[in-house]
A and B are shown apart, each in its own frame.
Chain A
């Protein structure tokens, strides 16, 4: 059974650019959540999607957005990148309770 797949694994972008990260959940999982991990801050919740609908959103600026497609795959987009956006972005899918995480996308903004 394939796990949660995130692409790309690593990304380097310049300030002001925008970036799109992709997440393919485990087959049959309809909920996809996104988290940002930075040193000392733990995992900060970005948003959660279920059947293409955003059900919850964390306290991030509007530059962070996401969407989910009919096949449950999800993307998140960050526009006008700032140095502070450098982080590990984790996607997790779930069927009921508990997450299965992907390996993350390491974004570095220079």
Chain B
């Protein structure tokens, strides 16, 4: 049973617009979340994190929002750039491991 879900396998956005990637989780005990970006033939790279004591964390063009009551988090990328085209994974921390979603492939169109 998938505890972390990314229901959109793919997303296309025009360059300069906002990209919104969504992630839902089922376990209310999760209290730390990460987003990773992955290019083909490379390992995932860390983007941004958020702890459950916050509802928003910002780092440059990337902002993560956490809605604990809805068990939902989202990653906003503003403005989107062609170099942002990649697969994005959200992950939730459980004891000694992260549980990853299945990923969303973002394509930013020039």
Contacts and interface: CB of A to CB of B under 8 A. Distances in A.
A binds B: yes
Interface of A: 4, 6, 31, 33, 35, 40-45, 48, 50, 55-56, 58, 90, 92, 97-104
Interface of B: 6, 32, 34, 36, 41-46, 49, 89, 91, 93, 95-103
Contact of A42 (B45, B97, B103): B103
Contacts, number: 55
A27 to B, nearest CB: 17
A101 B38 CA distance: 10
A35 B102 CA distance: 13
A97 B100 contact: no
28 contacts: A6-B43, A31-B96, A33-B97, A40-B102, A41-B102, A42-B6, A42-B101, A42-B102, A42-B103, A43-B44, A43-B91, A48-B96, A48-B97, A55-B96, A56-B96, A97-B32, A97-B49, A97-B93, A98-B46, A99-B34, A99-B44, A99-B46, A101-B44, A101-B45, A102-B43, A103-B41, A103-B43, A104-B43
Contact of A103 (B42, B93, B96): B42
A50 B97 CA distance: 12
A45 B44 contact: no
Q: Is the interface of B mostly helix, strand, loop or mixed?
A: strand
A82 B42 CA distance: 24
Given A42-B100, A90-B44, A101-B43, 5 more contacts: A33-B98, A44-B100, A102-B43, A103-B41, A103-B42
